[in-house]
Chain A
Amino acid sequence: MKALSRFRDADTVHHIATEIRRLALDRPVRFMEVCGGHTAVIYRSALTDLLPEEVQLLSGPGCPVCVTGNDFIDQAVALAELPEITIATFGDLVRVPGSTRSLTDVRACGCDIQVFYSPMDALTWALKHPDRTVVFLGLGFETTACTLAATLAECVRSEIHNFRFLSSLKTMPPALRALLSSQKVAIDGFILPGHVITVTGLEVFQFIAREFSIPSVVSGFEPSDLMEALLMLCRQIKQDHAEVENQYRRVVRYTGNPQAQALIEKMFEPCDMQWRGFGAIPLSGLKLRPQFSCWDAENIPVEVEPTREHPGCRCGEVLCGIIHPSECTLFGSVCTPETPLGACMVSAEGACAAVYHFAPLSEKV
């Protein structure tokens, strides 16, 4: 486990925190992380305990489950109820509530829901079960989009026709641009998603510095990565400087992964997409190109119930960093991980779930 443990050393993390303190920023700063993976590490390691008070961390729209509206789950649930359909999904989606039901609920009624770690495993399953039509729920950002593109390319190449794809894939740069343009929340810097940028490269995020003059750092996922990224952000602030820096140099190349980008380009085209908390963001989603329409689950005729979001659910504001989860009146009372009303509470990376599960008692409001 040396590959991971080298970047988790407690002494290293403490010394970087000391260096951040030594910089002695002269004002409070708010840094937003836009990756559920970073949210999870920050809360699970309790990194904020080590930071000086003036450095505050905000969670942004980085959890793909959280930013996906109820309509996607409603459509998945409706498809699941068709007798010939097997829903293939990542585990992340199974407990997420739709307008009235989750995949867990319909599985209990006999619907066929199969959980896979890899879309390629789902394709292999489809090959072994030719009597079933497998609908894969495509959720995620660019990191996952390239794996889905690769699987779908193989599906097309092998002419496997009992495999379909329902897309809720989203891309990060348009969402960050929408967040910054909305000016809903003051942000002094971004911790950027290391694995998304492994795929996309840094260029598509340069607008953060060039157009908005906001510092940002691409971060890895170990505690010392995040600490180093925070130090780099603080140094940019101190030097009154804004650029997109790369902390995750051991993985992220400036140009990203060209094979991954090419496969996404080949299989998908940009489309407008609804984001919880933002509404419709133009060209922020990915859908299958028209020539692959026979693999597109959007074309399966099914009646979907009208979408309703829970009144009082403030996931949208949480996702924009406008409120802290504990400021939602439903938080911890009617909305809990056992009885989630919104995606932010049920997703393993949701900000609400992170605060509910991990925030020490002293932090609970």
Chain B
Amino acid sequence: MQRFIRRLFVDRFANPILSTLEDAALVSLDGDHLAFTTDSYVIKPLKFPGGDIGKLSVCGTVNDLVVMGARPLYLSVGFILEEGLKLDLLERIVTSTAETAIIAGVQIVTGDTKVVPRGECDGVFINTSGIGVIPLGKGLSDSPFASGDAILISGTVGDHGIAVLSAREELQFQTNVDSDCAPLNDLIFSVLSVSSAVKWMRDPTRGGVAAVLSEMVESKPYGALIYEADIPVRDDVSAVCELLGFDPLHLANEGKVVMVVEADEVNHVLQLLRNHPLGRAAAIIGHITGEGAGYVHVQTAVGGVRRLQRPAGELLPRIC
């Protein structure tokens, strides 16, 4: 998919800002440093424990700005509605979008709505684009990665993925797991405002922690080693993964951040995360390595070492 995106879109649109393919584009405008991002939300089901597509469409775009070190300011929102969509469902989604924007401290300043014939979209598709500003001197450290830099995650993995799956009828399982969908600006700026030790951040959405870490090291002169036993996972998320054959590292998260932090500062950053309600379960899960450049390795719970499997795309339950 990445190769396809590069060939069809990136090469055609051809500009150095786009070609970095970061979570948000960093642009300069009359001396201000801005971040600009867009994302489209096409999830099914539209509502899931802990959220809905409206909430997700705000959090996802806000978080893409925040992980680049930008304070999110303004969003646009485009709705594509399937003819026949129930009005009360749409009202709930729009209310949720509005409420989440308030919590995230962003204004939705422009938008668009289109209706397509029945069957041409799954109820609602939403696109949100967002602009944020990178506060002077309070962004990410521009030091390159060094062997020994720590990899942290702000909390338990896989909650959103399992919450959405539990709402899918064909799998017929129940849990008490809610999506972790949340805007991360407050959490992240509670760290960035006092520490300059954060070198890199990503929110591990589709494809999970495995996807963001694999992308982080791909074609780079460094690798990463993570410790299976240290990855925070809820018991019920773990149980569903065992039952259906999923890897928690492949599941989507919508309210978590993965960070790379200077080794000397990791305990300070960890404490800052844990001081915040969204970061209570924050943990150190690994570190950057000189060996194994371009790959992520996992030290398994029993002490062996294997490579981290890249996620394949669609999550399919297994019986084999």
Contacts and interface: CB of A to CB of B under 8 A. Distances in A.
Do A and B touch each other in the complex, judged by CB within 8 A?
yes
Interface of A: 1, 4, 8, 10, 13-14, 36-37, 43-50, 63-65, 90-92, 94-95, 104, 114-118, 121, 125, 139-140, 144, 223, 337-338, 347-349, 357-361
A361 B295 contact: yes
A246 B297 CA distance: 34
Contacts of B298: 46
B206 to A, nearest CB: 16
Contact of A1 (B235, B297, B301, B304): B235
Contacts of A125: 170
Q: 4 shortest A-B CB distances, which residue pairs?
A: A46-B304, A91-B316, A49-B304, A357-B309
A36 B316 contact: no
Contact of B309 (A13, A37, A94, A358): A358
B305 interface: yes
A115 B316 contact: yes
9 contacts: A37-B320, A45-B304, A90-B319, A92-B316, A95-B316, A115-B317, A116-B170, A223-B301, A359-B307
A47 B235 contact: no
A323 to B, nearest CB: 21
B316 A43 contact: no
A46 B320 contact: no
Nearest to A357: B309
Given A91-B318, A337-B312, A1 B238 contact: yes
Contacts of A65: 320
Contact of A94 (B242, B301, B305, B316): B316
B302 A8 contact: yes
Interface of B: 170-173, 229, 235, 238-239, 242-245, 292, 295, 297-298, 300-307, 309-310, 312, 314, 316-320
A44 B306 contact: yes
Contacts of A44: 300, 306
B305 A347 contact: no
Contacts of A223: 301-302
Contacts of B320: 36-37, 63-65, 90, 92, 139-140, 144, 347-349
A10 B312 CA distance: 29
B312 A121 contact: no
Given A90-B318, A91-B316, A359 B306 contact: yes
A357 B307 contact: yes
A349 B318 CA distance: 10
Among A92, A104, A140, the one with the most B-chain Cβ atoms within 10 Å of its Cβ is A92
A65 B300 CA distance: 26
B305 A121 contact: no
Q: Is the interface of B mostly helix, strand, loop or mixed?
A: loop
Contacts of B300: 44-46
Contact of A13 (B295, B303, B316): B303
Nearest to A65: B320
Contacts of A47: 302, 304
Contacts of B317: 90-91, 115, 117
B55 to A, nearest CB: 27
A154 to B, nearest CB: 16
A309 to B, nearest CB: 21
Among A49, A337, A347, A349, the one with the most B-chain Cβ atoms within 10 Å of its Cβ is A49
Contacts of B238: 1
A212 B25 CA distance: 66
Nearest to B294: A361
A10 B242 CA distance: 18
Nearest to A116: B170
Contacts of A114: 170
A346 B312 CA distance: 10
Nearest to A90: B319
B218 to A, nearest CB: 14
A280 to B, nearest CB: 22
A144 B307 contact: no
Contacts of A10: 229, 301-303
Contacts of B229: 10
A360 B316 contact: no
B170 A361 contact: no
Nearest to B303: A10
A305 B231 CA distance: 47
A305 to B, nearest CB: 24
A313 to B, nearest CB: 20
B207 to A, nearest CB: 13
Given A4-B242, A92-B318, A338-B312, A46 B172 contact: no
A4 B243 CA distance: 12
Nearest to B297: A360
A345 to B, nearest CB: 11
Nearest to B223: A361
B316 A45 contact: no
A307 to B, nearest CB: 22
